[in-house]
Chains A and B, each alone.
Chain A
Amino acid sequence: MRDALGPQCTLARLGGDEFIIYRNQMNDPAEAEQDADAILQAFAQPIGLIETALSVNVSVGVVANPPAADDLDALMAKADLALYAAKGEGKARSQIFHAQMDVDYHYRQRLKADLEKAIAEGALTLAFQPLMDMASGQVVCCEALARWDHPTLGPISPTVFIPLAEETGQITDITRWVLCAAARQCRKWPEQISVAVNISARDFRGGDVAQMVTDALDSSGLAPHRLEIEVTESALIEERDLAQAVLDMLVERGIGIALDDFGTGYSSLSYLQALPFSKAQD
Chain B
Amino acid sequence: MVDIATNPRSRRLLANVARLGQDLDLTVVAEGIETEEQLAVLQAHTGVDLVQGFLFGRPMAASGIGALIEQLNAAPADNIRKHG
Contacts and interface: CB of A to CB of B under 8 A. Distances in A.
A280 B26 contact: yes
A236 to B, nearest CB: 15
Contacts of A159: none
A141 interface: yes
B31 A190 contact: no
A136 to B, nearest CB: 6
A140 B76 contact: no
Most buried by B among A273, A277, A279, A280: A280
Contacts, number: 117
A282 B65 contact: no
Interface stretch (A8-16, A61-69, A114-122, A124-132): A124-132
Contacts of A185: 62, 65
B84 to A, nearest CB: 13
Interface residues of A, number: 38
Contact of A134 (B21, B43, B60): B43
A282 B79 contact: no
B49 interface: yes
Contact of A129 (B1, B21, B43, B59): B59
Interface in B31-78: 31, 42-43, 48-52, 56-62, 65-66, 68-69, 72-73, 76-78
A134 B80 CA distance: 6
Interface string A247-282: 000000000001000110000010011000111111
A220 to B, nearest CB: 13
A139 interface: yes
A147 B64 CA distance: 15
Contact of A282 (B18, B68, B69, B73): B18
A129 B52 contact: yes
Interface of A: 125-143, 145, 147, 185, 188-190, 193, 258, 262-263, 269, 272-273, 277-282
